[in-house]
Amino acid sequence: MQNQEGLSLEQIRAFLEASTEIRFEAERREQVYDWVGRILVEQEYATLHREGKGLIRDYLAKMTGLSRAQVTRLIGQYRHSGRVQLRSYRRQRFASRYTTEDVVLLAEVDELHEGLSGPATQKLLYRAFYDFGDLRFQRLANLSAAHLYRLRRSPSYRRQRFVYQATRPSPVSIGERRRPDPQQRPGFLRVDTVHQGDEVEHGKGVYHINAVDEVTQWEVVGAVPQISEAWLQPLLASMLEQFPFRIYGFHSDNGSEFINHTIAKLLNKLLIEQTKSRPRRSTDNGLVETKNGAVIRKHMGYRHMAAEQAEEVNQFYQQHFNDYLNFHRPCAVPELMTDARGKTRRIYRWYATPWENLRQLPDLARHLKEGLLMQDLERRARATTDLEAAHQMQTAKRALFTQLHHRRSA
């Protein structure tokens, strides 16, 4: 609608009685206020009688969509100053009692005293001024504990007190973080642990220790009741002794059961190089991870075995299971193939026991332990057939599980 400021009171009355949907549309509140001011000036609102003022008030409310109280407030502003304009909002604020220097001083006190509680810090501030006469603490001396916590949340305090730094892993000097490089030599072990689960009623479960040679897949398994240096050190020494060849490398993940000074001392004494995987990269130790599922979980299952049963499980491994794995259980032998794009992948065309893989290595006698001959290993491999060895292993495993079940039920 155009030139609405020039309407007479009769025209405004007729408009209010006839219209139901017409309303003034503005993009900003400033335009609404400016339009209201022009209407009040044109209609000479201050000189109107009571009925005329009521018409103008209803007209403004209908056209702008403002409430009656809002319109009354704008009219009051016009009568007071002769103008209707948008006022900027200013929050009522109390004057700051404590300065930026006080906040910095509080941060210094907290830094030196390692951030004591509010009342304790309040006492320090009081003593600084009243007992030791430090004038810098004149305002802070009477600081309440509640307001002290408010100051600690202020931006100026945080800038002074806290230093933000990206999280960095704790440096551990034990073991070198890289993959082993066996160069077709036996004696580079991949090691991992497998837990047999915990139960509320029966407590902690057995921990299986799995060590696999990277080149020949020669595998030695042991068991301990707890993952600690006191239990692992003698078991690892026994497991390393069961390998027929010299050990040159020991690779594990970043678990503290292997990355500790006791294990490092044992490996250093045996002149074995210790390496470790990258954090959160389980595929870095993929060979032993695969053996965990295909060997240990497949034969020992997932059922809980109490920690005190670890000795029987370890005896079964030493007397029956390890020989079966290395002389009578074939494994897939990977063959590295490089395609036209230069991508290397593994294909498996041949299966052989770890002993067969070891026997085919060139210059094997140089890698065998002192006093051990190939003929000795060959006699162990020929002592029983694969079926007989598997039968003996299964018989011993059933006897073990029966013994563990009886002890569990007792």
Residues 267-298: tens digit of each pLDDT: 888 778 888 888 777 778 888 998 998 899 98
Q: By mean pLDDT, which of 3-7, 189-193, 322-326 is the weakest?
A: 3-7
For residues 120 and 146, state if they share a domain.
Answer: yes
Residue 88: predicted pLDDT: 66
Mean pLDDT, all residues of the chain: 84
For residues 250 and 391, state if they share a domain.
Answer: yes
For residues 262 and 333, state if they share a domain.
Answer: yes
Residue 175: predicted pLDDT: 67
For the stretch 86-100, pLDDT in tens is: 776 666 677 788 888
Asked if residue 107 is part of any domain, the answer here is: yes
Q: By mean pLDDT, which of 16-20, 78-82, 113-117 is the weakest?
A: 16-20
For residues 200 and 73, state if they share a domain.
Answer: no
Asked if residue 222 is part of any domain, the answer here is: yes
For residues 183 and 301, state if they share a domain.
Answer: yes
Asked if residue 95 is part of any domain, the answer here is: no
Asked if residue 89 is part of any domain, the answer here is: no
For residues 145 and 60, state if they share a domain.
Answer: no
For residues 307 and 220, state if they share a domain.
Answer: yes
Task: Output the DSSP codes for 306-357.
Answer: BGGGHHHHHHHIIIIIHHHHHHH--EEEEEEEE-TTS-EEEEEEEEE-HHHH
Q: By mean pLDDT, which of 2-6, 79-83, 154-158, 307-311 is the weakest?
A: 2-6
Residue 270: predicted pLDDT: 79
- Mean pLDDT calculated for residue range 130-149: 90
Asked if residue 171 is part of any domain, the answer here is: no
- Mean pLDDT calculated for residue range 221-238: 89
385-393 contacts: CB < 8 A, separation 24 or more?
Answer: 385/328, 386/328, 386/329, 389/323, 389/324, 389/327, 389/328, 390/324, 390/328, 392/320, 392/324, 393/320, 393/321, 393/324
Residue 315: predicted pLDDT: 94
For residues 32 and 137, state if they share a domain.
Answer: no
Task: Output the DSSP codes for 268-298.
Answer: HHTT-EEEEPPTT-GGGGHHHHHHIIIIIIH
Residue 19 has pLDDT above 60, yes or no: no
Residue 2: predicted pLDDT: 47
For residues 77 and 141, state if they share a domain.
Answer: no
For residues 131 and 39, state if they share a domain.
Answer: no
DSSP state of 203: B
Residue 241 has pLDDT above 90, yes or no: yes
Among 51, 81, 111, identify where a domain stops. Answer: 81
What is the span of the domain harbouring residue 116? 100-161
Residue 320: predicted pLDDT: 93
Number of structural domains, the chain? 3
For residues 148 and 188, state if they share a domain.
Answer: no
Residue 160: predicted pLDDT: 81
For residues 183 and 300, state if they share a domain.
Answer: yes
Confidence at 4, pLDDT banded by 50, 70, 90: low
Asked if residue 375 is part of any domain, the answer here is: yes
Residue 279, token pair as written in the block: 């954090």
Asked if residue 281 is part of any domain, the answer here is: yes
Asked if residue 93 is part of any domain, the answer here is: no
Residue 170 has pLDDT above 60, yes or no: no
What is the Cα gyration radius of the chain? 43
